[in-house]
Structure 1
Amino acid sequence: MSETATDAVHPRFVKKPIFYSKGFKIALIQMSVGPDKTKNVAKAVTEIHKAKECGAHIVALPECFNSPYGTKYFDEYAEEVPSGVTCRALSRAAAEAGVCVVGGTVPERCGDKLYNTCTVWDGTGKLLAQHRKMHLFDIDIPNKITFKESEVLSPGNQLTTFEYNGVKIGIGICYDLRFPEMAHLMSKQGCSMLIYPGAFNTTTGPKHWELLARSRATDQQLWVALVSPARDTTAGYVAWGHSLLVDPWGSVLGALDETEGTLVHDVDLTVVEEVRSQIPIRVQRRTDLYDTIQKC
C-alpha cells in the first residue's frame, strides 16, 4: 500500500487534513467490480455516502463501475442514459448526499449503438453532463494484450465540460488521456481540473498511467484525477488500479495501490493561477505558427 494510504483515518480511505480558502475536496472511489450489476451499483452508492461523511464535495467513480470491462459484456450490461437503473441510482445518491457525482462510466445503449459513457450529477441529482468516450481503446501489443473496443462500441464526438459551484471541470475516459489536444481544448474552455475514469491494464498501467496524468497536468497547468477500478486478477481484463491526484505542478499528491480504497484530498484552485502566472506558456504559444482548434 502506498504511503498516502497508510495515514488514512479509515483503512479504506485516504484523507489529508488540509483546508484551502479557495477549492474543494474530491473523493476518488477505487472499487471492485464484479458480474452482479445490482451489487456493483449498491457498492457505488454506499461509497458515495461514505465519501460525503469525509467531507467530499465531488465524488468520482471508476470506468465501467457497474459492469465487468470487456467487449463481450457491453451489450448485456448496457442501459439508456439517463433513464437506466444505474443513472437513477446515481441521481438519487447525489441528491441524498448533496455532492456532485462523476459517475465513472457505464455501457450506454442509444438506438442501435453502444457507447462507453460518463454521467455527471449535481448535488440535487440533476444531470450536468454526459461524455461518450471519444477515443476507443484499440491496441495490439504482441504477447501482452490485444483489445478492440471498436468491435462493439461507437465513439463519442463531443468534448465535455461542466461547471459545479463555479469550478469548471473537463471529462475524459481512459484512452482519451493519451490525446493532449483534447485536454488542451478543455483547458482553453476554462477548466481547472480534468477527471478521467479509466481502467488501464497491467501492461500499459505501470508504464504510462502516472506518466500521462502528470503530463496532462503539466502541459495544461491544471489538476488531473484518474479513477480506476480495483484490481481483480481473476477477471478477463485486469485493471492496474493506482487511482491518483496530480496538481498543476505535476506532483502526485495522493495515490492508492491496486486494492479497494477511496482517495480523499483537497483541491487548491489557487495553485492553477499560481503556476500559470509563473510559467506563462498559455500566452507564449506560437499560434502564428501552430494551433489546436475544435471542429465541432
Structure 2
Amino acid sequence: MQVAAIQLDIEPEAVETNLDRAHEAIIDAATAGADLAVLPEQFCVGFFAFDAYPTHAVGLDDGLFDRLAELAADNGIALVAGSVVESLADSAAAGYDVPATEGYANTSVFFDRDGTRRSIYRKHHLFGYESAESELLVPGDSLSVVEFEGLTIGTTTCYDLRFPSLYRRLLDRGVDCLVVPSAWPYPRIEHWETLGRARAIENLSYVIAVNGSGSFSAADATLCGRSTVYDPWGTARAAAGDEPTTLTATVEPAVVDRVRSSFPALADRR
C-alpha cells in the first residue's frame, strides 16, 4: 500500500486557502498512485488559532465532511482527514454518538476510497502546557480501528504520542499501522522523532506521523514539520524536513508479519 503523508502549509484561520491546498495535494497524491492520504492535525483552521475554534467548528454532517468524502471518492483514494474542530452540539443534534452534547472536539475522520466514512476519532489527550486546547475541547473516549488494504489502521493525534497505553489498547485491537496527524511545534523536534519511533518499535507496527508546516504569530509557535513513516523496526522509511511537501512510502502487511515473527516480543507481554 502506498501512503501519502501530506505536510501541509497551514495558515492560521485561512480555512478556504488551507482546504484548497489539501485538495490539490490529495489529487496529486492519488494521481501518483497513493492508496491512502493523511492530513495534519487542525489542517483547516490551524492548531494554535484557538480564538477561531468556535467560529470554524463544524458538525459531522456539515458540508466540509461531504467535500472531503467527495474528494476521496472522486480520486479513488482513502483519506484520514487530519483533524478539524468538531461542534459536539451539532453532531449530537444529527444523531451521532458524542462524548458530550456541547463543546468542541479535535476530530479526525477516516474515509474509504468510495467516500464512505469508516471511523471517527476524537483526540484523547488534550495538551495543557501553555495551550488552550484542554480548556476549549472535550477529550474523546473511543478508539478508531479500520481494516484497509490488508492492514489494521488505528488513528491517534499528536500529543497522544506521549501516552503509550493508548497504543497498547490499539495493539490489542489488532492494529499494525498507526496514523498520527499532528501539529508539533519547535523546539521539541527530538521528542517528535523519538516518540514516533518508540511507538513503532514497542508495538512492532508502522507509524505514519504527519505534521504540518507554518507559523502562528499570535501564539509565537512554528510547526516543525519532519513528517516520517516508520516501519515496525522503527526505521524511517521516508522523512521530510520542515517545508511543505507530500511524503510517500510503501507499507506492507507482510513486513509486519515478518518482523513480529522474527522478533516475537509482543508474545512476552505480561
The aligned amino acid for 1:122 is D
CA distance in 1: counterparts of 2:212 and 2:63, whole angstroms: 20
CA distance in 1: counterparts of 2:114 and 2:239, whole angstroms: 29
CA distance in 1: counterparts of 2:58 and 2:193, whole angstroms: 31
Correspondence for 2:4: 27
Greater Cα radius of gyration, structure 1 or 2: 1
CA contact (8 A) 1:66 1:86 kept: no
Aligned positions of 1:185-224 closer than 5 A: 185-204=169-188, 206-224=189-207
Find 1:275's aligned residue among 256, 259, 264. Answer: 259
- The SS at the match of 2:226 is coil
Ranges of 4+ aligned residues in structure 1 off by more than 6 Å: none
CA contact (8 A) 1:105 1:116 kept: yes
CA distance in 1: counterparts of 2:154 and 2:86, whole angstroms: 20
Correspondence for 1:292: none
CA distance in 1: counterparts of 2:158 and 2:216, whole angstroms: 20
How far 1:269 moved relative to its partner? 2.0
Cα distance per residue 1:142-200 (max 9 Å; x no partner): xxxx1131110010011111112332100001011111111111112111200000111
Aligned positions of 1:11-50 closer than 5 A: 24-34=1-11, 35-50=13-28
Cα distance per residue 1:9-48 (max 9 Å; x no partner): xxxxxxxxxxxxxxx0000001111222112112111111
Aligned positions of 1:116-265 closer than 5 A: 116-139=106-129, 146-204=130-188, 206-232=189-215, 234=217, 236=219, 237-265=221-249
Correspondence for 1:86: 64
For structure 1, list consecutive stretches of 5 or more residues without a partner in the other structure.
1-23, 140-145, 287-296
CA distance in 2: counterparts of 1:44 and 1:87, whole angstroms: 13
CA contact (8 A) 2:150 2:253 kept: no
Q: Higher helix fraction: Structure 1 or Structure 2?
A: 2
* TM-score, length basis structure 2: 0.91
The aligned amino acid for 1:131 is Y
CA distance in 1: counterparts of 2:122 and 2:171, whole angstroms: 18
The aligned amino acid for 1:74 is Y
CA distance in 2: counterparts of 1:217 and 1:167, whole angstroms: 15
The aligned amino acid for 2:115 is G
Cα distance per residue 1:109-144 (max 9 Å; x no partner): 0112100000110111111110000000112xxxxx
- The SS at the match of 1:66 is coil
Find 1:96's aligned residue among 41, 53, 74. Answer: 74
The more displaced of 28-37 and 256-265 is 28-37
* TM-score, length basis structure 1: 0.83
Cα distance per residue 1:75-124 (max 9 Å; x no partner): 1211111x223211110100001010000000000112100000110111
Aligned residues: 255
Cα distance per residue 1:44-74 (max 9 Å; x no partner): 1111110011110000000011112222221
Find 1:76's aligned residue among 55, 74, 78. Answer: 55
